[in-house]
Amino acid sequence: MAKIKFGTVEEEVVTREEFPLAKAQEVLKDEVIAVLGYGVQGPGQALNLKDNGFHVIVGQRKGSKSWDKAVADGWVPGETLFELEEAAEKGSILQYLLSDAGQIAKWEMVKKHLKPGKALYFSHGFGVTFSDQTGIIPPKDVDVILVAPKGSGTSLRRLFVAGSGLNSSFAVHQDATGKARERCIALGIGVGSGYLFETDFRKEVYSDLTGERGSLMGAIQGLFAAQYEILRAKGHSPSEAFNETVEEATQSLYPLVAENGMDWMYANCSTTAQRGALDWWKKFRDAVKPVFEELYESVESGQETRLTIEANEKSDYRAELEKELNELRNSEMWQAGAAVRKLRPENN
């Protein structure tokens, strides 16, 4: 592993230079990788592995929209596309990429096909970490590993096609064969990771659930909504409020942060913007840090897991979820966003 300095902290990571694709192909040359689930992560990981020369099959419920998507993506029924149970039986590495609720529902079936020496692969530590709630306790004679791309499967695929990669964490929860770590890293390279950093299942799910509810989705929506609503209440037009809140951030400033960091973005803004940002960022940090403390404690205690499982078990969950999504979709801010996106030059 390569030693990289992150500020004053030194960390070991795995890069493509030290673990090239050819090595990953050699490690997994005799494996049949069964990707179980073709929803959020499944398509990107399965297609990237296939394009990288690995033996991949997909397991999905026949007749579902995801089955049809898999067929449209080139997976052939009876050859590379099977019902979930048949794929689980055929695979030597089972990439368990169903939703968290789906993993709970299908666990007994999958466990039945975890013969000694197989590997059980996750991209989220949820099921294993909170096994007291999910019931997912792998047999002792299989490898249990994790590769978690730091983004959606759509982004993983898009960056792979563009010749780039999405960074991923990796973890070995159980090494039954003595080859678990090598298998895990090879799969991380195979799915198209930019680089791999080591974690464990518990830390992965704690950071992931905190991030999703925080700066990746929940907090950012709350921040956008608060600023937009203030601007509208003070008499600004929907176009002005949306552009100053979201469009400038996502189309101009966030890409600069991605390219070179926050300090570089600050240095490439006006002196007025610099001064204001430097004066106010600590106030925002101090205001939201207690909320993040509360959020992390809720994740760590298993409360967020309980709420997620209970919500998914309700018979009307999908209908209620659609209502909540519609609240976002039909809000003035995101209606304004739809109008602004249509007006972008590339759409005209």
Which pLDDT tens digit goes with each residue over 182-239?
Answer: 999 999 999 999 899 999 999 999 999 999 999 999 999 999 999 999 999 999 999 9
How far apart are the C-alpha atoms of 113 and 128, rounded to whole Å? 17
For residue 4, the SS3 value is: strand
Which pLDDT tens digit goes with each residue over 254-290?
Answer: 988 988 999 998 888 889 999 999 999 999 999 999 9
Amino acid code (one letter) for 4: I
Mean pLDDT of 21-46: 96
Q: Tell me what pLDDT residue 347 has.
A: 82
Residue of 52, 127, 129 whose CA lies nearest to 94: 127
CATH number of 211-347: 1.10.1040.10
Three-state SS letters, 149-178:
ECCCHHHHHHHHHCCCCEEEEEEEEECCCC
Q: Percentage of the chain surpassing pLDDT 70?
A: 100
* b/e code 65-79 from CB counts within 10 Å (16+ = b): ebbeebeebebeeee
Residue of 254, 252, 242 whose CA lies nearest to 215: 254
Catalytic residue among 55, 113, 124, 173: 124
C-alpha distance across the termini of the chain, in Å: 48
In the structure encoding, which two tokens stand for residue 120, read together? 């059980």
Within 8 A by CB and 6+ apart from 152, the residues are 40, 41, 44
Q: Where along the chain do its domains lie?
A: 2-199, 211-347
CATH architecture of the domain with range 2-199: 3-Layer(aba) Sandwich (3.40)
Which pLDDT tens digit goes with each residue over 135-191?
Answer: 999 999 999 999 999 988 999 999 999 999 999 999 999 999 999 999 999 999 999
Count of CB atoms situated within 10 Å of the CB of 313? 11
For residue 320, the SS3 value is: helix
Handedness of CA 6, 9, 12, 18 (dihedral sign): positive
Q: Tell me what pLDDT residue 155 has.
A: 92
Which pLDDT tens digit goes with each residue over 80-126?
Answer: 999 999 999 999 999 999 998 899 999 999 999 999 999 999 999 99
94 touches 37 (CB < 8 A): no
Using a cut of 0.85, tell me whether the model's pTM lies above it: yes
Q: Tell me what pLDDT residue 269 has.
A: 87
Give the number of C-alpha atoms closer than 13 A to the C-alpha of residue 290, restricted to the C-beta side.
Answer: 3
To the query of whether residue 124 is one of the catalytic residues in this protein, the response is: yes
The continuous run of DSSP H or E covering 208 comes out as: helix 201-213
Is the per-residue pLDDT at 348 higher than 80? Answer: no
Give me the chain's average pLDDT, please.
94
